[in-house]
Amino acid sequence: MIGVKDLSKQSNGTRILRGVSFEVAPQTVLGVIGASGSGKTTLLRCLNGLERIDGGAIECDEVRLDANLSANEYARRVKELRRKVGTVFQHLYLFPHLTVLGNIIEAPIHVLQQPRRKAQDEAYELLDAVGLKDKARRYPETLSGGEQQRVAIARALAMHPALLMFDEPTSALDPKRSAGLRSLLRGFVERGHTMVIVSHAIGFLDGLADRLLYMENGEVVEYGETNQVLNSPGDPRTKDFVEQAK
């Protein structure tokens, strides 16, 4: 479960997020949409503790980050948060010196202390699910953008974090791969995971996200059931955005 209350964030005197509030119930998916520069990535970076928030509070599976915490306490809670949250970033950050398999099993072995054999078996299952089983021994630089993106997704899923965050997970995928990813993620939700997915691809979120949050200039314009936001939005700005994005 994720709860965000009146979150604000500024950087170098510019306000990037203002008064952002929403909730993501356990085993549901929140889709975040909005124009480039509206604050979507910054919101994810606040949710996983990479950016310190300036106002409001975030609660992720019983870890509470509050703008009023001391620097030490904030850092301590972010460490705790990291055990629960997995993120696939917009820029993927695969380890260049590790093979595809190495990228996926690194954290399960060294952080979760899984036996190598078990980590490898699961890595192959995930690679199979994203259509890359035959590329396990390749290095990231020898893969296409879409293949690298799928490795990054498999790497995040291998850690089984309660909360998963994705920043534009389909930006380099073709329609068939996007559809495959959608059912893979839906399967993870059914097995107990909760997700926040930032995406320009409304078609990808439709049928995957339970709720949508539409942002403009760092503020929430609309937040509600996916069907309602897409088909009968309450704000004309949402309607314009959705029509253009379709």
Ligand X SMILES: Nc1ncnc2c1ncn2[C@@H]1O[C@H](COP(=O)(O)OP(=O)(O)OP(=O)(O)O)[C@@H](O)[C@H]1O
Interface residues with Mg ion (CB under 5 A)?
Answer: 41
**Closest approach of Cβ 48 to ligand X, in Å?**
13
Q: Are 96 and 143 in contact (CB under 8 A)?
A: no
- Cβ proximity to ligand X, 38 vs 238, nearer residue: 38
Q: What is the spatial distance between Cα 214 and Cα 243, in angstroms, rounded to a whole number?
A: 13
CB of 221 to Mg ion, least distance (A): 17
Least distance between ligand X and beta carbon 198 (Å): 7
Binding partner of residue 113 among ligand X, Mg ion, none, CB cut-off 5 to 8 Å per kind: none
Query: What is the contact surface with ligand X in residues (CB under 6 A)?
Result: 11-12, 14, 16, 34, 36-42, 90
Give the nearest distance from C-beta 230 to ligand X in angstroms: 19
Q: Which does 37 bind (CB under 5 to 8 A by kind): Mg ion, ligand X, none?
A: ligand X
Four-point Cα dihedral 160, 6, 215, 31, nearest 10? 20
Nearer to ligand X by C-beta: 114 or 199?
199
CB of 175 to ligand X, least distance (A): 20
- If contact means CB under 5 to 8 A according to the sort of partner, which of ligand X, Mg ion, none does residue 36 touch? ligand X
User: Which one of Mg ion, ligand X, none interacts with residue 199, CB within 5 to 8 A by kind?
Assistant: none
CA-CA-CA-CA torsion sign (59, 65, 68, 73): positive
34 vs 108, beta carbon nearer ligand X: 34
Cβ nearer to ligand X, comparing 22 with 100: 22
Which of residues 41 and 148 has its CB atom nearest to Mg ion in the complex? 41
Closer CB to ligand X, residue 40 or residue 193?
40
| Nearest in space to 223 (alpha carbons), one of 240, 206, 210 | 210
Find the shortest distance in angstroms from Cβ 139 to ligand X: 27
- From its phi and psi, is residue 160 left (phi > 0), alpha (psi between -120 and 50) or beta? left
User: Other C-beta atoms within 10 Å of 227: how many?
Assistant: 12
CA distance 57 to 7: 6
Residue 226 interface partner, choices ligand X, Mg ion, none, CB cut-off 5-8 Å depending on type: none
